[in-house]
Amino acid sequence: MNLIRSEILPKPALPDVQSVTSRGYELARHWRVVEGSFLKFQMVSCEAEFKRAAASANRQMQHAQIGWRDPAKTRDAWARIHGECAEHGVAVDRYGICLDWSMGIPRDQRATAMRGTGLILDRPEDFAALTAAAPVAPHFGDFVLGFPAAVENTCAALAAGATSIGNLGQYFTFRLQGASDDIACTAATVEALALIAAQPIEVLVHSNLDDGFAALFQDLGSVMGAVLLERHIGSLIGATVSHCWGHHFSDPVRRLAFHVALAEVAGDTPGTMIYGNTTSYRGTAAENFASLASYLRIDIAGQRLAPTGHAINPVPVTENERIPDVDEVIEAQLFAARLATHEARHMPLLDASPARALVAQIVAGGRSFFDKAIAGLTQAGIDTANPFEMLLALRRLGGRRLETLFGTKHEATRSDIAEEVAEMAHTHLDRVPQTLRATLAAARPRVVTATTDVHEHGKLVLDEVLGQAGAEIIDGGTSAEPHALAAIALNEGADAIALSTYNGIALSYFKALRECLGNSIPVLIGGRLNQIPDASNTSLPVDVGDELAAAGAIVCREIEDAVPALLTSLKETT
Ligand code: B12
């Protein structure tokens, strides 16, 4: 089916791209990279220079993802993780900073925004105080590019010495509650990209593919297509886009193949980091250590086979419970460094040929996706040399539609996520007794399923399990605003809402939903049911299951809990 411009960009006048980029280039006269402690200590002009040198010397870089609500706690951790690892002879080279999602909202409106579980930095001085705590390369990634506060956060990151900035992937898929103006988000993102591009030294624009469309793409060729499209958009503004991936790459052969393929496509652009395969963390700490070793071995080997400067990212084994604490970050870093020394001796045993055999296919899939996208958008009347139109068109089309339109599927290069969701659904459905399934199928309740944020896998599994058990599923969307979700449920006359939530906003979201919904429709809620208490001194979120239940939610810890919960609520409402 052909694309039509009026369906994608119906508003006739978008902001003039030249004026938006000029604002960013102009801003670069006042906001410039400050030579921070990492650049001084390493005597380099930017992280990209350090990375190129590391790659050619076969030196493995290490990345830690950090950021607790309290800036003082995060500052201490910045120094402590670096210091304690150094005592063991381990260099933590870079920190990715987990800003809170409310940081995507401009400073003067942030106080009323829904808060998640991350770090909140109010002033540029707070950014700089953090990065001064130890000579580790600062990477302000999450909730910088792609949001209304993109420009002010980029200015602050540059002034704090960051030479890897942003997470362009988030522009495409992350939504903030209460900030739905995608034209404003695009304008802020384009201006921030221009500000980065106009710096006197090389600043990498980081993009985590798994935060973007890759989380849901079915084929690795499509993921590579996203790489090429984002690099194209960056080049239109003069910015270098550097890609990260990894959360959803569980299969070792395909993980390695994607790395080698990306090295080929990226050429001289060094990589930021490779994300941990966090979706494989589903067990206890001991079980998760096995998953940690499994993906790290591939990433370490990958750097030896095709050095790109990507840092490895040992994700702490408590990741599936909550935000890891400082000691757990240190433990994972030490583990990774020791594993790297072992891996060096394992290399002669590694036969990379099954992975290498997939590389050409992934690259060809990516090029075909890119070519088809450019042709399809051009035919629709989208100006593919205009970064504003390109960004907005891709975001509005969304991952599923883009892959249907431009992707090609190959069994050998399939991504892991569809299979993993199907397996999980099978396991959870098996746990529902046949008698309950029969009763549910007879009642055939109409259930609206939705998420409060970008995390969609819980909803996908839920749709599959409830659908197969006999419920009628109505899609309430991802990152659904409370008022929009309530409207769908009320208009559809739904019997229940089943909500999946992960961002540490469970209680505030539920209360907002109840206000719009009234008490007529039961709400089942599952996912990470936690929140950081206002008076917390640990910055770690705590479970709010009891508070949710007291406020009237039906709390579900497992997918299969939804079936008896639905049956009980149906009985109560009849
Ligand atoms: C995959 C993932 C992502 C992917 C999501 C891709 C996608 N399109 O879905 C990506 C990479 C994009 C991502 C992004 C982020 N993530 Co994330 N992510 C995860 C991860 C690895 C898996 C979560 C998941 O989907 N599990 C699969 C589901 C099916 O299983 P489950 O979670 O065990 O759920 C069970 C039950 O809860 C139940 N269930 C779930 N929902 C419901 C609903 C109902 C009604 C019922 C009955 C049952 C039910 O079903 C499951 C089986 O029984 C977890 C860590 C982990 N290993 O768990 C972090 C995690 C959830 N993410 C987290 C965070 C902080 C983020 C970010 C904010 C990070 C950042 N700074 O950018 C962003 C989110 C931004 C945003 N705008 O929302 C935190 C949440 C912290 C907290 N609340 O304490 C976690 C725990 C990681 C961590 N330790 O920091 N993430």
Q: What would the two tokens of residue 344 be?
A: 């060096």
Q: Is residue 388 situated within a structural domain? A: no
Same domain, residue pair 299 and 436: no
Pocket test for ligand 1, best of 502, 509, 539 (most atoms within 8 A of CB): 502
Q: What would the two tokens of residue 120 be?
A: 């909140």
Same domain, residue pair 49 and 156: yes
> Of 356, 380, 403, which residue is a domain's last?
356
Pocket test for ligand 1, best of 455, 479, 548 (most atoms within 8 A of CB): 455
Q: pLDDT over 90 for what percent of the chain?
A: 89
Is the C-beta atom of 394 inside 6 A of ligand 1?
Answer: no
Sign of the torsion angle spanned by Cα atoms 429, 433, 438, 443:
negative
Residue 537: pLDDT band with limits 50, 70, 90: low
Kindly provide the residue ranges of all beta strands, DSSP E only, lying in 292-359, ordered along the sequence. none
Atom of ligand 1 nearest to the CA of 281: 57
Identify the residue whose C-alpha is closest to ligand 1 atom 53: 558
Atom of ligand 1 nearest to the CA of 525: 45
Same domain, residue pair 22 and 150: yes
Atom of ligand 1 nearest to the CA of 565: 47
Same domain, residue pair 308 and 218: yes
> Of 320, 340, 356, which residue is a domain's last?
356
pLDDT at residue 30, rounded to an integer: 94
Q: Which residues, including other chains, have CB under 8 Å from residue 304's CB and lie 6 or more apart?
A: 58, 343, 344, 347
Q: How many domains does the chain have?
A: 2
pLDDT at residue 533, rounded to an integer: 80
Asked if 290 and 336 count as a contact pair (C-beta separation under 8 A), the reply is no
Compute the C-alpha angle 444/445/451, nearest 5°. Answer: 130
Is the C-beta atom of 115 inside 6 A of ligand 1?
Answer: no
Is the C-beta atom of 215 inside 6 A of ligand 1?
Answer: yes
Write down the pTM of the prediction.
0.95
Question: CA 118, CA 388: separation in Å to the nearest integer?
Answer: 29
Q: How far is the CA of 450 from the centre of ligand 1 (A)?
A: 14
Parent domain of 444: 419-573
Is the C-beta atom of 462 inside 6 A of ligand 1?
Answer: yes
Same domain, residue pair 233 and 334: yes
Same domain, residue pair 191 and 77: yes
Atom of ligand 1 nearest to the CA of 424: 29
Mean pLDDT of the chain: 95
Q: How far is the CA of 63 from the centre of ligand 1 (A)?
A: 21
Atom of ligand 1 nearest to the CA of 503: 83
pLDDT at residue 157, rounded to an integer: 98
Q: What would the two tokens of residue 294 be?
A: 């499994």
Residue 265: pLDDT band with limits 50, 70, 90: very high
Question: CA 272, CA 142: separation in Å to the nearest integer?
Answer: 13
pLDDT at residue 418, rounded to an integer: 87
Question: CA 39, CA 41: separation in Å to the nearest integer?
Answer: 6
The CATH number of the domain where 488 resides is what? 3.40.50.280
> Of 339, 356, 373, which residue is a domain's last?
356
Least confident of 109-113, 142-146, 148-152, 456-460: 109-113
The CA distances from residue 33 to 140, 160, 341, in Å, are: 13, 7, 35
Q: Is residue 227 situated within a structural domain? A: yes
Atom of ligand 1 nearest to the CA of 530: 83
The CATH number of the domain where 126 resides is what? 3.20.20.240
Q: Please state the rounded mean pLDDT for residues 464-473.
A: 96
The CA distances from residue 389 to 2, 6, 16, 442, in Å, are: 18, 12, 10, 49
Residue 114: pLDDT band with limits 50, 70, 90: confident
Same domain, residue pair 471 and 345: no
Same domain, residue pair 351 and 454: no
Q: Is residue 180 over pLDDT 90?
A: no
Query: How is 216-279 classified by DSSP, letter by letter?
Result: T-SBHHHHHHHHHHHHHHHHHHT-EEEEE--TT---HHHHHHHHHHHHHHHTTPPP-B----GG
Same domain, residue pair 352 and 431: no
Q: Pick from 475, 453, 452: which is nearest to 462 by CA?
A: 475
Q: How far is the CA of 455 from the centre of ligand 1 (A)?
A: 5
Q: Is residue 169 situated within a structural domain? A: yes
State the alpha helices, DSSP H only, in 444-561.
457-469, 482-492, 506-517, 545-550
Q: Pick from 504, 433, 522: which is nearest to 469 by CA?
A: 433
Same domain, residue pair 515 and 430: yes
> What type of residue is 247?
H
Q: Is residue 493 situated within a structural domain? A: yes
Query: How is 48-109 classified by DSSP, letter by letter?
Result: HHHHHHHHHTTPPPBEEEE--SSHHHHHHHHHHHHHHHHHTT----EEEE-B-GGGGS-GGG
pLDDT at residue 214, rounded to an integer: 83
Question: CA 295, CA 280: separation in Å to the nearest integer?
Answer: 9
Is the C-beta atom of 33 inside 6 A of ligand 1?
Answer: no
Q: How far is the CA of 72 from the centre of ligand 1 (A)?
A: 26
Question: CA 159, CA 128: separation in Å to the nearest integer?
Answer: 7
Q: Is residue 4 situated within a structural domain? A: no
Q: Find the helix or strand (DSSP H, E) in which 450 lies.
A: strand 446-451
Same domain, residue pair 352 and 441: no
Q: Is residue 502 situated within a structural domain? A: yes
Atom of ligand 1 nearest to the CA of 176: 77
pLDDT tens column, 481-522 = 999 999 999 999 999 999 999 988 899 999 999 999 998 899
Q: Is residue 319 situated within a structural domain? A: yes
Q: Is residue 447 situated within a structural domain? A: yes
For 473, the 3-state DSSP assignment is: strand
Q: Is residue 535 over pLDDT 70?
A: no
Q: Please state the rounded mean pLDDT for residues 275-285.
A: 96
Identify the residue whose C-alpha is closest to ligand 1 atom 77: 174
Same domain, residue pair 425 and 334: no
Is the C-beta atom of 278 inside 6 A of ligand 1?
Answer: yes
Least confident of 43-52, 93-102, 427-436, 539-548: 539-548
pLDDT tens column, 362-415 = 999 999 999 999 999 999 999 999 999 999 999 999 999 999 999 998 999 999
Q: How far is the CA of 503 from the centre of ligand 1 (A)?
A: 8
Asked if 369 and 228 count as a contact pair (C-beta separation under 8 A), the reply is yes
Q: How far is the CA of 197 from the centre of ligand 1 (A)?
A: 33
